Amino acid sequence: MDWSTYRSSTWDELIADGAPRPELGPLADYLAALTVSDVRARQRAAEAAVQAMGITFTVYQDGANLDRAWPLDVLPRVITTQEWDRVEAGLLQRMRALNLFIDDLYGAQKVIADGVLPAELLADSANFRPECCGISPPQGVWAHISGCDLVRDGDGTIYVLEDNLRVPSGVSYMLENRKITKRVFGDLFRDLDIQPVDDYPARLYDLLASLTPRRGVEPALVVLTPGVHNSAYFEHAFLAQQMGAALAEGSDLVVDDDDVVWMRTIDGRKRVDVIYRRIDDLFLDPEAFRPDSMLGVPGLMRAWRSGTVAIANAPGAGVADDKVIYSYVPELVRYYLGEDILLPNVPTWRCIDPAERSHVLAHLHELVVKPANESGGYGILIGPRATPEELDEYRIRIEADPRNFIAQPTLAISTAPTLSGGQLAPRHLDLRPFVLSGDRAYVTRGGLTRVALREGSLVVNSSQGGGSKDTWIVDPTVGARP
């Protein structure tokens, strides 16, 4: 197709100067030969496959939980292996440092004693769990599974936008997207060297099994879900199925007086060794946290503390999701590893610092301001798009609680061609790779690309109308020209 009329306002992942990026190798020729009607036909095939395969996500609307078909834009987002190797090294470095950091916070807190992190940050952290102090989980790892959000700026730099160390979701959709694109782009999978992603469930199983407190016995694994009404239930069931683990709700598990966790089975009770929990900390155990939680298992923290069961991610791991702590990650990498950070953070002003705060307040209309402990894009102020009233209101909120806000420059987040109204148009996107940390660390080859489907929009969350793309890590030196 003729790409000469395709214009992105920023860096585009596939197209530059009116033609497919030559650095993509044979794929660039393929994109040049593609027609819009061909893409449309493949999009229809993809949507039919999503329906038939029952790939859904759940939205809460009008008091009911509704299953929606998973939105996939069929044209993939492509990254070269050479670039991906650098991203992977950066993610591994980051997770090494963050796990050392969390372990330190719940242990000796040397990072505070040495003056790297201000003590008051910890005292006010919404996701710091004093209940976890003094605990040493197996291998010293707290955040076993993480999903960092990456974005690319207009100059091509890839930044880490945020860390998700609590219960990051989306990996099942990464795997499903690949199944669909294999169906509808089968020809390309023959001609190109697209790196596989399907080994994730096996890697996740190996990681979880390695945490078992009972050596020499085949570990009993459980995926702990809040239940069928949770927006990520599809993923919980998917991962349990892929790993051959039991998919349990809190009511399926019991902790006895000896702090051992059991599941209710048709053969009576059976001991549980490892819990991959997809429930937030505060709902995990009504004995330890919110007493009104119906989702959790009374006594689970007792059991975890006494080491009879492993929990991934460990309770309290979310402390590093705090966006103020995020801003310290470059310092943490240097402090724990003695290295320079490989994958940069977005430059961040901390409102807790008086000088930085006055800069933020003076430039509010140019900046993106984020609350420290929200996820899913909630509570964010996008300065250039805010009304004067919204700016004033936000100014008051920052001054009232400066510790809980950070500000970043507005990035010119990259785009990729996306079907919209039957035509290919540039749409903004991000990328969530998944990192497994344990005896052997692992990064997915690619990840889940989320794309904003409306023109100019930066909202990629599926709950708010965002879509997704398959992510192809491709070696441009391999493959036949079409």
Residues near other proteins, by CB under 8 A: 51-54, 220, 223, 228, 233-234, 237-238, 240-241, 244-249, 251-252, 254, 256, 260, 262-271
CA dihedral sign, ordered 395, 166, 279, 136:
negative
Looking at the Cβ atoms of 299 and 371, the one nearer to other proteins is 299
Query: From the CB of 312, what's the least distance to other proteins, in Å?
Result: 17
For residue 88 the two structure tokens come to 């992977």
Residue 409 backbone phi and psi in degrees, to 5: -65, 155
Minimal distance in Å, beta carbon 353 to other proteins? 48
Q: Which is nearer to other proteins, 71 or 433 (CB)?
A: 71
Give the nearer residue to other proteins in terms of CB position, either 124 or 252.
252
Least distance between other proteins and beta carbon 417 (Å): 30
DSSP 41-90: HHHHHHHHHHHHHT-EEEEEETTEEEEEEPPEEEEEEEEEHHHHHHHHHH
Q: How far is the CB of 166 from other proteins (least distance, A)?
A: 22
Q: Output the smallest distance, CB 238 to other proteins, in A.
A: 8
Q: How far is the CB of 268 from other proteins (least distance, A)?
A: 4
C-alpha span between 204 and 225 (Å, rounded): 16
DSSP 230: S
Query: Judged by CB, which is closer to other proteins: 179, or 403?
Result: 179
Rounded least distance, CB 45 to other proteins, Å: 16
Angle at CA 78, nearest 5°, toward 74 and 79?
160
Give the dihedral sign, CA 348/352/353/359: positive
Q: In this complex, which beta carbon is closest to other proteins, that of residue 32 or of residue 48?
A: 48
> Who contacts 412 (Cβ-Cβ below 8 Å, separation ≥6)?
9, 10, 11, 153, 154
Residue among 241 and 423 whose Cβ is closer to other proteins: 241
| Alpha-carbon torsion angle 193, 90, 312, 325, nearest 10 | -150
Of 220 and 332, CB closest to other proteins:
220
Find the shortest distance in angstroms from Cβ 233 to other proteins: 8
β partners of residue 79: 473
User: What's the distance, CA 136 to chain centroid?
Assistant: 25
Of 103 and 235, nearer to other proteins (C-beta) is 235
77 and 471 Cβ atoms separated by less than 8 Å: yes
Using DSSP, state whether 399 is helix, strand or coil.
helix
